[in-house]
Amino acid sequence: MAYLESTVSTLPRPRPAGASATHPGAWLFLRGPHRAAVDAPPGAVLFGRDGTLIQDVSCNGDPGTVHPLAGARASLAALRAAGFALGVLSAQPGVARCVLRREQVESVQARTEMLLGPIDVWAVCPHGPHDACDCRPPAPGLVTAACHALGLPPALVTVVAHGDPLIEAALTAGAHAVRIPDGAAPPPAAPCPPCVPVVCRTADSPEQATGLLLRVRG
């Protein structure tokens, strides 16, 4: 698809915030025009950032410490080739604690894209646990904001992550979810509530999750 093949700047562009004063919203960084303005892809895959695509470094504001996890680049490339839009979800409470600045968050995102290729949307929660926001996982705000930015309903979106908060956020938003293990830990036996009418599966790695998604689509 044309929008995945165009050459653009590595640094994502911030989307103007529309959050209310009562509930501050997520930071959104979009690549290119709003998804509703172009042909929508058949679906999207939203990945957790730390521990899913890149090594988990606490309050990481240094692009020099960005190291992709094994198989991450190949997984994203396969999904792009299949026509999926790609997004990354990230909670960065270090911003609320004043140990991270917005430009540091952006520099880590830019370095990640240099190593893993272009990302259509980044959705970042910069709040702490007491900020009364609706985007800090397990609240669904990050997922719904990314879906809106891409112009896709949650039913056409899958979240791939290792942590319970993002998995719960995906299910609450009505998206599908694939849980991968944290480190060497095995996938849990019962990854999602049986009454939730969305898909929730487990995989051993981002590569296996990608293979699962491509097989389901086919």
Model pLDDT, residue 117:
96
pLDDT in tens, 81-110: 999 999 999 999 989 888 899 999 999 999
- CATH code: domain of residue 156: 3.40.50.1000
Look at the chain and report how many structural domains it folds into: 1
Tokens coding 171: 């299910």
Q: Is residue 122 part of a domain?
A: yes
Count CB-CB contacts under 10 A for residue 21: 5
Asked if residue 12 is part of any domain, the answer here is no
The answer to whether residue 18 is domain-embedded is no
Residue 150 covered by a domain = yes
Phi, psi of 84, deg, nearest 5: -75, 145
Q: Decide which of 210 and 41 is more confident.
A: 210
Given a cut of 70, is residue 19 above it in pLDDT? Answer: no
Summarize pLDDT for 52-92 with one digit per residue, the tens. Answer: 999 988 888 889 999 999 999 999 999 999 999 999 999 99
- pLDDT band at residue 148 using 50, 70 and 90 as cut-offs: very high
Domain of residue 129: give its range: 24-217
Residue 9 domain-assigned (yes or no): no
- What is the chain's mean pLDDT, rounded? 80
Evaluate whether residue 7 is within a structural domain: no
Residue 1 is assigned to a structural domain of this protein: no
Is residue 126 included in any domain, yes or no? yes
Q: Which residues pair with 29 in a beta bridge?
A: 14, 122
